[in-house]
Chains A and B, each alone.
Chain A
């Protein structure tokens, strides 16, 4: 009953012709993921997707931090939609969960309060000379990947299976709060049983871990961490999740939100420093992947081309389990072959560590 309940919340996802809106922070922290998404859709699936250089930030970070007013963000969103129409597309897809929440929130506000839509149309016309055209469909990019998961599975070079034991990998999936907790009907499976990442994991051969704090927030909420003094609350959320998932011995975590992917990854270093606790089978941390990276590995992409060297927790143990061939020497080489620098040795990197940590296996 529980497994099937996700089917109660379904939404229409277009098959082709997407207008792609990028994320501000993903390009910094997981720079290979958006490129991988475009490559997979274009080269593997032959889908028409437009990566528009004219679109801007949705200004969601400023909006949630109370520095961008509602009227401003509505006008920015209206401009993105009009750019989409000018480019000849009507299916808007967003790479960021915050943006996805913003687009849904703005559309719902226009629906509930038509006067705000009229005002936004006027502002957009006065500021840019453009006309607002609303999209036919809105989806997050993880929805798109979920929609095409079986097509990806048919082209898979490998499955999410431990090549040494033959067992499916145990995967923790984490859904960004703004994916379906604001508008449950905007997410596959709603807010209680989101199936978007679990569907990918199951289609590609992995086992989904169901653990007590599965639906808990990662702590990224902008107000939670923007002020340094508040970050103790922020990290406590990730700590709670990691403590809760550790006994299930997950092989990796996959998330569909830029903030969650970053926090669940980088807080593992901070928790090791503050608390002396590390997670994972050998105490080297639990790798955290974006869903594009997971799909890229399944399709046989090079992990360094996917940008996996930018992770805080090293991914090599996971690559070994998957049987991925990679060059350790090429890890910190940029596209031009130049050395891009390497992080300092810490507990969650695969380097020799002299300090003693309490390992939560």
Chain B
């Protein structure tokens, strides 16, 4: 690009742009697991998470990002999940969160 060094660049906005995000993967995940739409974002999954207790792994953040069409880095991050299923036991909406981890990884394999 430019050969000039301005000493700064153009900061990219951190706004969530639902108009331009590619929601096809997100829609496919919800189509296969429609109960995900019942999530109230309480964070019980993250609070009870075995991996979250020893790393900064945050499952609520990850599945929220996926539903917004922000997939970058999610697949790699989900590799920290040990599939113990404690999150499934505490989910107040009865969502199969353990199954959701595997579903997201399957759908986002190419991200």
A residues lining the B interface (CB < 8 Å)? 228-233, 235-236, 239-240, 270-271, 273-276
Contact = CB atoms under 8 A, between A and B. Distances in A.
Interface of B: 1-2, 4, 6-13
B7 A274 contact: no
B11 A276 contact: no
Contacts of B4: 273
A143 to B, nearest CB: 33
A117 B72 CA distance: 57
A231 B18 CA distance: 27
A231 B89 CA distance: 49
Chain A: interface secondary structure? helix
A231 B13 contact: no
A229 B8 contact: yes
A271 B7 contact: no
A236 B7 contact: no
A235 B1 contact: no
A276 B9 CA distance: 12
Contacts of B11: 232-233, 235-236
B13 A274 contact: no
Nearest to A230: B8
Nearest to B15: A240
A229 B6 CA distance: 10
A112 to B, nearest CB: 36
Nearest to A236: B11
A225 to B, nearest CB: 10
17 contacts: A228-B7, A228-B8, A229-B7, A231-B7, A231-B8, A232-B8, A232-B9, A232-B10, A233-B11, A235-B8, A235-B10, A236-B10, A236-B11, A236-B12, A271-B10, A273-B6, A275-B1
A274 B2 contact: yes
A228 B9 CA distance: 10
Contacts of B9: 232, 274
A274 B1 contact: yes
A230 B7 CA distance: 10
